[in-house]
Structure 1
């Protein structure tokens, strides 16, 4: 493998690179910033005060450090572009969502833009708050409050609802209070606080049935399969056009929480056969459909 190929391979994990031919070699640019290159047959990488030649055995490590330097420069530039507004602000906001290390500052910046004068940036800021929840699996409490405020906004309501749903799906292992948006059967430890918190959010006519002492049930797999079939029968409808079983939004939601005093993760191979049941471990819960 040539040196050029080795540098290109080491850069493969950093996203799209632009290769720019220069006198005596090639420079690889990420988001318009030079990150690495090959000059007169010698590898070169960015460092804080310019360029350096890495040791041959540490090319990958040197490129990672160069990427950190370039990314820090990009974050500063994106903040400037976002403050300036204009066409570059949209791409800058997306770049910050993925790469700004100060996540609290980022969320407060996005919250400020949900109140800004530019409609396009307001809408993108709402969407980006959902992206933060998906990427970080956590958001500031004021993010949820702001998105709930915006649900009734005639321009941003739909976007806010989508962002809120994105956050909820990625910050909670399951969603008991959201109709048809959670596992049908959930194994949880007895007295689990997350289950108790979510049960308080469930509104009629949706129903969540809590089954205590599930560890004592005989034929557990058959029992869970019976619950799954009950959920299918009571909440789904066969679509006449495609013949598929689809959740019916007009029907109340139904879920079962099985309190299990034991090794919940060990139940997965018992339940998961990919034919009648699908079981997935998430955090310290087991979710089954």
Structure 2
């Protein structure tokens, strides 16, 4: 079996309209690239992206819904603002879906780190302090 070398690349900046268009024509690869492109660069409106990713969190395709959760964390990092109540509630619901549980947890962690850095630092310190007691 030959070994295939994959090369990582950041997708180009994209718009929510490009994500919708790619999904509409069934271009999964293009949709996934456009989703990452909308979240990574901060070129758009955070509210529009928030609505897009909240909608895609319930998409039928597992890759699209999982990337929708991941992009929530990227959006928190890039824009430093969210409608936190709605997004966190949606991600908490998504944690009960097997293929979304890990990415939803990661997105929740990113939201805490980027929107509440002091709270995240204290939580990390507490976890490190308590970790040594788990061996007893």
Query: TM-score, normalising length from structure 1?
Result: 0.37
1:92 and 2:34 matched: yes
C-alpha deviation, 1:136, in angstroms: 1.4
The CA RMSD measured in Å over matched residues stands at: 3.1
Q: Which residue of 2 aligns with 1:145?
A: 89
1:134 and 2:77 matched: yes
C-alpha deviation, 1:176, in angstroms: 6.4
Instruction: Specify every segment of 5 or more residues in structure 2 that has no aligned partner in the other structure, as ranges.
Output: 1-8
Q: Which structure has more RCO (C-alpha within 8 Å, separation ≥ 6)?
A: 2
Larger Rg: 1
C-alpha deviation, 1:78, in angstroms: 4.3
- Structure 1's consecutive aligned runs of 4 or more residues displaced over 4 angstroms after TM superposition are none
Query: TM-score, normalising length from structure 2?
Result: 0.73
Q: Distance in 2 between matches of 1:174 and 1:111?
A: 26
Name the count of aligned residue pairs: 122
Q: Distance in 1 between matches of 2:133 and 2:86?
A: 30
Work out which of the residue numbers 78, 102, 125 in structure 2 matches 1:158: 102
Q: Distance in 1 between matches of 2:122 and 2:92?
A: 15
1:248 and 2:132 matched: yes
Cα distance change on mapping 1:80 and 1:150 into 2, 3 Å: same
Q: Deviations over 1:25-78 (max 9, x none)?
A: xxxxx95xxxxxxxxxxxxxxxxxxxxxxxxxxxxxxxxxxxxxxx6xx53544
Instruction: Specify every segment of 5 or more residues in structure 1 that has no aligned partner in the other structure, as ranges.
Output: 1-15, 17-29, 32-70, 185-205, 207-231, 237-246, 252-289
